C-alpha cells in the first residue's frame, strides 16, 4: 500500500534543510505529513491567485522544498502545480523530482471565478488525472523482501500508493534495482525509517517501516544489496512498505516485480 514519493538525486541528491518526501501514506498508515523545520518569518512571495504557465520549463525539487513554496516562487497556484504533475498528495514530493511548470494533455491553468459582486474567488483545485503506468521501465526489478503480500496498490488512493510485504523483525530488505540512495532518514510521518533509491531520472523506489537503515545518502547500491532491516517503525506490525514511482507518480509495483 502506501508516494515525493512526495517519489528522486532520486525520482540527484540535493542538500538542504529538513527532509521532504515520496512518496503518500501506506496501508495501515495515515496520510503522510511532512516534518517542516522551525524558523523565522518567511520571505517567500504571496501565493498567486492565478497561474502563469511556463511551457517547456520544469523545476527540480530540493531537500526542504514544499510544493506550496515552489508554486509561489514560480507564480503558479499550488492547485495547478499539483494537478499539472498528477500529485494526489501535495506533501509527498521528493528531492530530485522534476515538476512541470505548465499543463499537459490539453489542461489549462485555472482562472478565478467571478461572483455576482464581481469579486474574484479562488478556483477549486481540479482533481489530478489518472496516470497509467508506463509499459517498460528498463529496470530489472527484483522483490525487495521475502514474505506474504498484505497490502496492495490502489490507484488514486493516497494511503495505498505501494505494496506491503509482511515479515519478521530484522529480516533483510534489499534494493529492488541498481541506483543511488537519495534519502535515508525518518523525516516523513507515516513511513518510519525510510530509504529512497533513485534508479534514473524517471524512476524511484521507496522502502518504509525499517527497523534499521544500513545505507547513507549518496551511496550507490546494486540490485539485491541489503539496505535495511525490516521493522515496524510507523506501523503496527513488522513489514516492508514498498513503492515504485515514475516521474514522482506512484505506479503499481506488481506490474514490474517478477512473478513469484
pLDDT tens per residue, range 217-237? 999 999 999 999 999 998 889
What value does the mean pLDDT of the chain take? 76
pLDDT tens per residue, range 44-73? 456 677 888 888 888 888 877 888 888 888
The beta-strand segments (E) located in the chain are 33-34, 58-60, 98-100, 113-114, 120-121, 149-151, 163-166, 172-174, 179-185, 188-189, 193-198, 203-213, 220-221, 226-230, 239-246, 249-251
- Answer whether 0.75 is exceeded by the pTM: no
pLDDT tens per residue, range 149-181? 999 998 878 778 999 999 999 999 999 999 999
Domain ranges across the chain = 1-41+50-108+139-260
* Least confident window among 74-78, 133-137, 221-225: 133-137
* 101 torsion bin: left (phi>0), alpha (psi -120 to 50), beta (else): alpha
* 209 torsion bin: left (phi>0), alpha (psi -120 to 50), beta (else): left
Domain spanning 1-41+50-108+139-260: CATH superfamily: Glucose Permease (Domain IIA) (2.70.70.10)
94-to-8, 24, 30, 59, 236 alpha-carbon distances in Å: 6, 11, 18, 12, 25
In this predicted structure, the answer to whether residue 109 has a pLDDT above a threshold of 70 is no
Amino acid at each position: 500500500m502506501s508516494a515525493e514519493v512526495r517519489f528522486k538525486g532520486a525520482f540527484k541528491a540535493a542538500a538542504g534543510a529538513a527532509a521532504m518526501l515520496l512518496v503518500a501514506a501506506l496501508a495501515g498508515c495515515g496520510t503522510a505529513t511532512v516534518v517542516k523545520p522551525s524558523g523565522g518569518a518567511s520571505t517567500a512571495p504571496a501565493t498567486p491567485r492565478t497561474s502563469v504557465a511556463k511551457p517547456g520549463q520544469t523545476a527540480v525539487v530540493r531537500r526542504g522544498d514544499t510544493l506550496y513554496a515552489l508554486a509561489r516562487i514560480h507564480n503558479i497556484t499550488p492547485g495547478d502545480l499539483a494537478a499539472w504533475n498528477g500529485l494526489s498528495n501535495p506533501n509527498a514530493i521528493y528531492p530530485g523530482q522534476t515538476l512541470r511548470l505548465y499543463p499537459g494533455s490539453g489542461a489549462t491553468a485555472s482562472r478565478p471565478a467571478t461572483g455576482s459582486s464581481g469579486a474574484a474567488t479562488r478556483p477549486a483545485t481540479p482533481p489530478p488525472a489518472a496516470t497509467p503506468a508506463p509499459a517498460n521501465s528498463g529496470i530489472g526489478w527484483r522483490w525487495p523482501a521475502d514474505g506474504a503480500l498484505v497490502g496492495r496498490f490502489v490507484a488514486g488512493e493516497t494511503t495505498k500508493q505501494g505494496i506491503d510485504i509482511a515479515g519478521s523483525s530484522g529480516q533483510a530488505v534489499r534494493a529492488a534495482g541498481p541506483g543511488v540512495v537519495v534519502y535515508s532518514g525518518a523525516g516523513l510521518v507515516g513511513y518510519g525509517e525510510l530509504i529512497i533509491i533513485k534508479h534514473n531520472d524517471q524512476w524511484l523506489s521507496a522502502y518504509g517501516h525499517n527497523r534499521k537503515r544500513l545505507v547513507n545518502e549518496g551511496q550507490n547500491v546494486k540490485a539485491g544489496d541489503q539496505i535495511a532491516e525490516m521493522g515496524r517503525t510507523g506501523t503496527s506490525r513488522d513489514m516492508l512498505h514498498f513503492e515504485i514511482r515514475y516521474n514522482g507518480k506512484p505506479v503499481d509495483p506488481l506490474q514490474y516485480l517478477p512473478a513469484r
